[in-house]
Amino acid sequence: MRFDRPGMAVLLAAALALPASMLSAPAWTQSDESRIDPAHPFAGIASAEQWERNFIPGRPNVVPGDPYANMTSAEFWRNTWRGQGIDGKLAESKGSGGRGVMIRSPYPYKSAEEHYDAWLKATGGSSRKTRDTLPDWSGDWQGNADGVLHGGARISDVMAAVSDEYKPRFEQLLRAEMAGRQWWPTEFCLPWGFGGFYSLDGPTWHFMMDQSMVLINKDRNNNETRYLYTDGRGFLPKPLQIPQWYGASQAFWDGDELVIWTSQIKQWVITHGLPEYSDRLEAVERIKRFGDEILVDLTLYDPEAFAFPWHDTVIFRKLADWTEAPATFSECVSTNNVYMDADAMLRQRTPGDPDYLDLSDPRPWATAFARGEGAAAKAAAGKDAK
């Protein structure tokens, strides 16, 4: 399939030519800083839902003539993943207008370092924990981001939140998805990356901790773990730092709230209907348990890829019965038979293909050895025949 048909070209050109009033972070992408105390944001908050309502009020915003038909990133994905809209009819789709997701950070800080240092200063210094004073985050949890990272913001609002330099990259992704050219990291046994860490439905999460660190683990699509050090070690010296899928993190306890600064993040793409981020991305998180929920307040700083700092909230809910979603170990390779062909379309290998990976094979190494032995014997027989 081609993605350069006139109808699509007109649609994307219209997106590029939006008036400044539509591309300059409209009102519903703004956050009202006056509603919270930046230094003590959870003060007076009784529940995760109360906090989230500050940033996702639930009111749709339908704009006549919106070039993406008022679709959110998630709606765009659901309406294009099979190539719908490729004939230029995307503008006829009817998006919901979203739930008023506010993308812009509510905080006055210009960088992750400034943000983290301000929160550390507000505590009077990091509080060290003993095993007896660590909060209880045990159990099995499920949840995900509820705002922009989960596809809840309108495409036009997301475009306004992307830097001018990165807008063409985002438009390329949208064109490809409208043409049915979908790209999934896990199809190639790659991590989702930091931007997608909280964006996916379905994983089971665990939070494990001692006096020196907190581990956050999710079981799928691939098993992924973040290491959050609370012992004051800081980051590695600059010459030893390298970009990593989930970055490097340092953290401190503010009472029963965990504050995290993550840097050294590898450049990647968030997920379907959402843009790329650069290797200058850094994040600040504040995590607290409210009853049977864990709330994550997340701020993303990327001066290269984003027009302004982004914000999202994540709510995890504790499973009453772990058998509802037992944790699994997902390593991708043994079940992956997907590849991208010369036209950048996803294809799947089937039994009989020499490169097919058969999960039911109890001795895959022996199968590979036998194939090699057969090829060697065939080559030898050919030489003898000459």
Read off the pLDDT of residues 181-196 as tens digits, 9 standing for 90 and up: 778 787 778 888 898 8
Residue 320: which pLDDT band, with cuts at 50, 70 and 90? Answer: very high
Residue 361: which pLDDT band, with cuts at 50, 70 and 90? Answer: confident
Which position has the higher pLDDT, 210 or 9? 210
pLDDT at residue 335, rounded to an integer? 65
Q: Which of 166, 203, 188, 162 is nearest to 73 (CA)?
A: 162
Q: What is the mean pLDDT of residues 332-336?
A: 70
Which spans in the chain are helix H? Answer: 6-16, 20-23, 48-53, 73-80, 112-123, 155-161, 167-178, 364-385
pLDDT at residue 77, rounded to an integer? 84
Q: For 125-177, what is each residue's pLDDT tens digit?
A: 767 899 999 999 999 999 999 999 999 999 999 999 999 999 999 999 998 88
Beta pairing, strands 310-318 & 338-340 = unpaired
User: Does a cis peptide bond (omega within 30 degrees of 0) precede residue 54?
Assistant: no
pLDDT at residue 90, rounded to an integer? 65
Contact 277, 302 (CB under 8 A): yes
Identify any residues that bridge with 205 across adjacent strands, giving them in sequence order. 141, 218
Q: For 244-288, what is each residue's pLDDT tens digit?
A: 999 999 999 999 999 999 999 999 999 889 999 999 999 999 999
Rounded to 5 degrees, φ, ψ at 32 are -90, 100
Burial environment of residue 186 by CB neighbours within 10 A (0 to 12, 13 to 18, 19 or more): middle
pLDDT at residue 82, rounded to an integer? 62
DSSP state letter for 266: P
Token pair belonging to 188: 């190639």
Instruction: Indicate whether 32 pLDDT > 70.
Output: no
pLDDT at residue 386, rounded to an integer? 67
Residue span(s) of the chain under CATH 2.40.128.20 come to 30-59+100-153+182-324
Taking 3-state DSSP, the helix, strand and coil percentages for the chain, each rounded to the nearest 5, stand at 30, 20, 50
Which residue matches tokens 């929160």?
119
pLDDT at residue 283, rounded to an integer? 98
Share the mean pLDDT of the chain.
86
Instruction: Indicate whether 25 pLDDT > 50.
Output: no
Residue 233: which pLDDT band, with cuts at 50, 70 and 90? Answer: very high
Write b or e for each residue in 117-145: b if 16 or more Cβ atoms lie within 10 A of its Cβ, otherwise e.
eebeeebeebeebeeeeebebeebbbbbb
Token pair belonging to 46: 């009784």
Residue type, 265: I
Q: Which of 97, 103, 52, 58 is nearest to 76 (CA)?
A: 97
Residue 18: which pLDDT band, with cuts at 50, 70 and 90? Answer: very low
Q: How is domain 30-59+100-153+182-324 classified at the CATH fold level?
A: Lipocalin (2.40.128)
Q: For 78-88, what is each residue's pLDDT tens digit?
A: 877 665 554 55
Which spans in 26-104 are helix H? Answer: 48-53, 73-80
pLDDT at residue 17, rounded to an integer? 43
Rounded to 5 degrees, φ, ψ at 370 are -65, -40
Instruction: Indicate whether 20 pLDDT > 50.
Output: no
- What is the C-alpha radius of gyration for the chain, rounded to an integer number of angstroms? 24
Instruction: Indicate whether 33 pLDDT > 50.
Output: no
Distances (CA, A) of 115 to 15, 30, 67, 111: 33, 18, 35, 6
Residue type, 192: W
Q: For 60-107, what is each residue's pLDDT tens digit?
A: 999 998 988 899 999 988 877 665 554 556 656 689 999 999 999 999
Which sign does the torsion angle of CA 313, 20, 282, 72 carry? positive
Contact 192, 185 (CB under 8 A): yes
Q: What is the mean pLDDT of residues 367-376?
A: 86
Distances (CA, A) of 335 to 172, 197, 331, 341, 370: 30, 21, 8, 19, 21
Residue 334: which pLDDT band, with cuts at 50, 70 and 90? Answer: low
Q: What is the mean pLDDT of residues 212-216?
A: 97
Contact 277, 303 (CB under 8 A): no
Identify any residues that bridge with 145 across adjacent strands, giving them in sequence order. 314
